[in-house]
A and B are shown apart, each in its own frame.
Chain A
Amino acid sequence: MDFVSGLRCRECGRTYPAEALHVCDFCFGPLEVTYDYDKVAATISRQRIEAGPRSIWRYADLLPVSDPAPVDLGAGFTPLVRADRLAAELGLGELWIKDDTANPTGSFKDRVVSVALTKARQLGFKIAACASTGNLANSVAAHAARAGMDSVVLIPHDLEQAKVTMTSVYGGRVFAVQGSYDDVNRLCAELTSEQPEWAFVNVNVRTYYAEGSKTLAFEVAEQLGWRAPDHVVVPIGSGSQLTKVAKGFKELHQVGLLDEEPSVRVSGAQAEGCAPVATAFAEGSDVIRPVKPNTIAKSLAIGNPADGWYALDTIRKSGGACAAVTDAEVLDGIRLLARTEGIFAETAGGVTIATLAKLAAKGVVRPDERVVAMITGHGLKTVEALAHDVGPTATIAPTLDSFAQAMAADAANSQRSPQ
């Protein structure tokens, strides 16, 4: 059984039963799952978790659905990698990378989708649907196939090819919409009213879906030996993941899994071409002004982020910061992470690393802090972004002479540019 006590509007506090509801009927505020933490605390323990599956489901007591056979491809329990070489480049001390590229469909979305579809199935839904910038599309199509559910996925028409192929291969319906992600999102919000029998994971099942992101915090704490980090850097698309990571650390203490109350600074990362939260942070404003996105970081290209305000509030209250980086810096960030730590991230990961570098240079992220950067998607999803920046050292004939010439040319070249 789960420990859910109900749903509660984050804006006006009205409460609802744990059904397929996502916004408050009164003020449209987002609904949040509430738990009976006393009961969770009486059940959960480090030993119980450590004896659980090597997936997000080891934390089932703090998830909004309980099922002995969840819709599961093995999401979660991804590596937390100590990143000393990257730390040295950035002038930081104890730096860790949460490598969520290792998820079944290559992004953190497997965490939220596994939770969402398990709950959707329990609620009686037969069709899984979503609006997506790509990663969610991949994950919904895959998990729906696994669960034997039909899927309907709507994406912007101009997504990276890998994300389109990775969605279509699973045999569900995929609609490429002539518009931006925000257009797709609005269409899905309207479709939800017309197709109430579909589980739109990030619309009518969103309340449950979003809870899956807490497992990032749970894993980081467990992998650090049941300690919270001092500072996490999280990319911002809708802003949901960032707020849920913060919630996750709090909950661990609430149910007795962390000895000390964590005080985790949470910083947000955006691309300059879509930075409504970073802009509000820089201006000291409480208003998130929607923007028309224009960035290579398409998985974060949400111009009107539904949880943007909550992300901003979380960042400010935690003593973190929010910054934005250029597309050129995003590409540098991808290459920096790959070159120093052997991890190939998609453009969103480049946003995170470039923002981390920027905040480290400013002294916001400090060398005396234990820092975790969330790398949320695999680089193979966005290879187009690097097409002009990386490639073979040389193309050569299959002869020793040709190889020697190319090596010599590269050595001369490398001396000019130590990169």
Chain B
Amino acid sequence: MIKVRIPAQLRTLTGGIGEVAIEGSTVGEVLKGLDAAHTGFGERIFDDDGGLRRFVNVFLDEEDVRFLDGLATPVTAGQTLSIVPAVAGG
């Protein structure tokens, strides 16, 4: 199982829970599994082409999956996937 951290904005979909466990062998599979377990994630996370929305960042442990293989990045049990809205500062 992969631990998935849910940001406050999306916890309405998980009944207020900030962390859920999902099966899957890639980032994309886990996120699709998340949508299957808690309806509503898919349309919020994915754009019309099935990629990650522009302002959705997904981190596998410490790394932005855009620096890895994106949704095809393999995941192994014990890893943590974090969904984080893009923010900026300076």
Contacts and interface: CB of A to CB of B under 8 A. Distances in A.
Interface of A: 11, 22-23, 25-30, 109, 130-133, 135-136, 179, 181-183, 185-186, 188-190, 192-194, 196, 201-203, 206, 237-241, 289-290, 292, 299-300, 302, 304-307, 309
Nearest to A196: B8
Interface in B9-38: 9-12, 18
What 6 A-B pairs come out closest when comparing CB atoms? A238-B88, A306-B88, A202-B89, A193-B8, A237-B90, A28-B55
A241 to B, nearest CB: 8
B44 A135 contact: no
B88 to A, nearest CB: 3
11 contacts: A29-B54, A109-B90, A130-B89, A189-B84, A189-B87, A193-B8, A196-B8, A202-B88, A202-B89, A290-B66, A304-B57
Contacts, number: 114
A25 B62 CA distance: 24
Given A11-B54, A28-B9, A185 B66 contact: no
Majority DSSP secondary structure for residues of B touching A: mixed
A28 B62 contact: no
Nearest to A107: B90
A330 B64 CA distance: 29
Given A193-B18, A290-B64, A27 B89 contact: no
A27 B59 contact: no
Contacts of B8: 192-193, 196
A131 B44 CA distance: 25
A305 B88 contact: yes
Given A193-B18, A240-B88, 16 more contacts: A11-B53, A25-B9, A28-B44, A133-B89, A136-B89, A181-B89, A186-B84, A189-B7, A190-B84, A201-B89, A202-B90, A203-B87, A240-B90, A300-B90, A304-B88, A307-B88
A22 B87 contact: yes
B55 A11 contact: yes
Nearest to A30: B55
Contact of A190 (B7, B10, B12, B88): B7
Nearest to A300: B90
B90 A136 contact: yes
B44 to A, nearest CB: 6
Contacts of A196: 8
B55 A238 contact: no
B89 A183 contact: no
Contacts of A206: 87-89
A27 B53 contact: yes
A132 B87 CA distance: 12
Contacts of A27: 44, 53, 55-56
Contacts of B44: 26-28
A203 B88 CA distance: 7
Contacts of A181: 89
